[in-house]
Structure 1
Amino acid sequence: MAKAGGGVQSLDRAFAILETIADAGGVITLSQLASDTGLPLPTIHRLVRTLVDLGYVRQEPNRQYSLGPRLIRLGETTSRRLATWARPHLAEVVSTLGESVNLAMLDGDQIVYVGQVMPSQNSMRMFTEVGRRVDPHTTAVGKAILAGDDEDDVRALLRRTGMEGRTTHSLVTPDDFVAELRQTRERGYALDNEEQELGVRCVAVAVPGGSRLAISMSGPLPRMGDDVVDHAVPPLRAAADAIADELRTRG
């Protein structure tokens, strides 16, 4: 059925279903899909069955539905292209600041690192290698992305993932994490103070435009004082804006 804007309604609804499943953490019931999308249950059932047949949705043994394996190839290809577009902007930040710079995205309920540029000197091995998946509550990039979300949605995500402490500095209660997100919104950037890895501090800003992306600079704690963080924020924001422009131009 054609939409007034020239699109195809069934495609619009199919992508709404995929995004709703992703927003629910990757697994959802048909009744919850109907409630969250506002679509009639028979319509949901028909579209989901088509997506299952195509491999983009999977029916679980408990009769819930999850994102299917065919999306992996699409996501991996998109991530590689995104990293290619973003690399010059990440490299410019590295040349300015002299520390490792990372690009990460919220994929379902997890942060996945999709790009990284390291300096030729003063480099150290970080936990943030490309392809690494981590829970968002211990990362600056996760905080930067989630700071713009409704607090109820953030708490629902934390219930799904749990809040395992990676270090003694990790935030392990929803109230503490939500309070940290409020601070992140107020100052305009996020911090990871040895919460993912001891001895490592990170500062991150979100890529504007609702892309669920963020850029961070990571470094050993002795080199990441407050003055360095303050100096890092403007170049990170400039790179985030440039990547947002790339996404708008290429999208």
Structure 2
Amino acid sequence: MADGVQSVDRAIDLLEIMTDLGGDAALSELATSSGLPLPTIHRLMRTLVLRGYARQLPSRRYTLGPRLIRLGESAGRQLGAGAKPHLERLVRELGESANLAMIDRDMAVYVAQASSQHSMRTFTEVGRRVYCSCTGVGKAVLAQLPDTTVREIVGRTGMPAATDRSITDLRTLLDEMAKVRDQGYAVDDGEQEIGVRCFAVPVPHAPTPSALSISGPAARVSFEFGEQALPLLHEIAGHISDELITAR
């Protein structure tokens, strides 16, 4: 990086490589992916371990450290604050509740919400964590990841059913991921809560896979509603993405 500090740049590269590899990596994998000499990687990883941004497992593999959780939560709150005006626009134009979520520790966590003004509406608390396999935002997030990572995530979390419509087996989930990638959006049709429907789209180029959604009672949030809402959802997701890129 021309104007950066080389050691900081390299340390961040190693953290991102571990993230891309599913959260942990051997020294040899870090060397292959980064192109850095092993002594350099060892020195940088030792510093990250001492600061709590990485851990070394008994197997000698390195994994992401617990101090990153605090950074991620703070970044999520800031992302939510910046996105709130966009969510409020969705509510004004579509009339239903809007949410922004991101993946964190294998779950989808809501980082911003704007509530519909209807007396009967959906409401999701900021900070709520849900399984990715049975929510619109969760599926839109998972679809941004390779199938190998999706397998690893659900291998750790399982796929418990929230309703009798929830996806509970890996093959069905992977087929759903292919569909979401192809059409560019995910649908939660009563999979998290009976009688509630949600349409969600990825937020492109977010530093952590994220998704934007509109949700409400299925009687109002029909599939025809979704067809009309999706162009605006993609537009707003693009605006949020542009702001994230500008802020980097």
- Secondary structure at the residue paired with 1:115? strand
Question: Residues of 2 paired with 1:71 and 1:148: CA distance?
Answer: 21
Question: Residues of 1 paired with 2:189 and 2:157: CA distance?
Answer: 21
What residue number does 2:111 align with?
114
Cα distance change of structure 1 residues 17 and 241 upon mapping to structure 2, 3 Å threshold? same
For residues 59-78 of structure 1, give each alpha carbon's deviation from its aligned partner in whole angstroms, at most 9, with x where no partner exists.
Answer: 45665543333223322222
- Secondary structure at the residue paired with 2:213? strand
Cα offset, 1:48, TM superposition: 1.6
TM-score normalized by the length of structure 2: 0.87
Question: Residues of 2 paired with 1:220 and 1:106: CA distance?
Answer: 25
Task: Tell whether 2:240 aligns with 1:243.
Answer: yes
Q: Which moved more, 1:51-60 or 1:223-232?
A: 51-60
For residues 199-228 of structure 1, give each alpha carbon's deviation from its aligned partner in whole angstroms, at most 9, with x where no partner exists.
Answer: 221110111225412101111222221111
Gaps of 5+ in 1: none
Cα distance change of structure 1 residues 161 and 19 upon mapping to structure 2, 3 Å threshold? farther
Cα offset, 1:146, TM superposition: 2.8
Cα offset, 1:134, TM superposition: 2.2
Aligned partners of 1:105 and 1:113 also within 8 Å: yes
Cα offset, 1:115, TM superposition: 0.4
For residues 21-44 of structure 1, give each alpha carbon's deviation from its aligned partner in whole angstroms, at most 9, with x where no partner exists.
Answer: 334444455455445555554433
Aligned residues: 247
What residue number does 1:47 align with?
44
Question: Residues of 1 paired with 2:32 and 2:97: CA distance?
Answer: 43
Task: Tell whether 2:14 aligns with 1:13.
Answer: no
Cα offset, 1:111, TM superposition: 1.4
In structure 2, which of residues 133, 136, 140 is the aligned counterpart of residue 140 of structure 1? 136
Aligned partners of 1:26 and 1:108 also within 8 Å: no
What residue number does 2:184 align with?
188
Task: Tell whether 2:227 aligns with 1:218.
Answer: no
Q: Which moved more, 1:157-166 or 1:85-94?
A: 157-166
Task: Tell whether 2:196 aligns with 1:200.
Answer: yes
In structure 1, which of residues 157, 169, 187 is the aligned counterpart of residue 153 of structure 2? 157
For residues 112-148 of structure 1, give each alpha carbon's deviation from its aligned partner in whole angstroms, at most 9, with x where no partner exists.
Answer: 111000023335454x321122231112112223324
Cα offset, 1:93, TM superposition: 0.3
Give the residue type in structure 1 aligned to 2:148: D
- The 5 A counterparts of 1:27-176 are 27-30=24-27, 32-34=29-31, 37=34, 39-60=36-57, 64-126=61-123, 128-176=124-172
Question: Residues of 2 paired with 1:108 and 1:25: CA distance?
Answer: 11
- Secondary structure at the residue paired with 2:194? coil
Cα distance change of structure 1 residues 138 and 159 upon mapping to structure 2, 3 Å threshold? same
- Secondary structure at the residue paired with 1:222? coil
For residues 66-95 of structure 1, give each alpha carbon's deviation from its aligned partner in whole angstroms, at most 9, with x where no partner exists.
Answer: 333322332222222211211111100001
Aligned partners of 2:206 and 2:241 also within 8 Å: no
Task: Tell whether 2:229 aligns with 1:232.
Answer: yes
Cα offset, 1:180, TM superposition: 0.9
Q: Kindly, what percent of the aligned residue pairs are identical?
A: 49
Cα offset, 1:236, TM superposition: 1.0
Gaps of 5+ in 2: none
Question: Residues of 2 paired with 1:133 and 1:25: CA distance?
Answer: 20
Cα offset, 1:158, TM superposition: 2.7
RMSD: 2.4
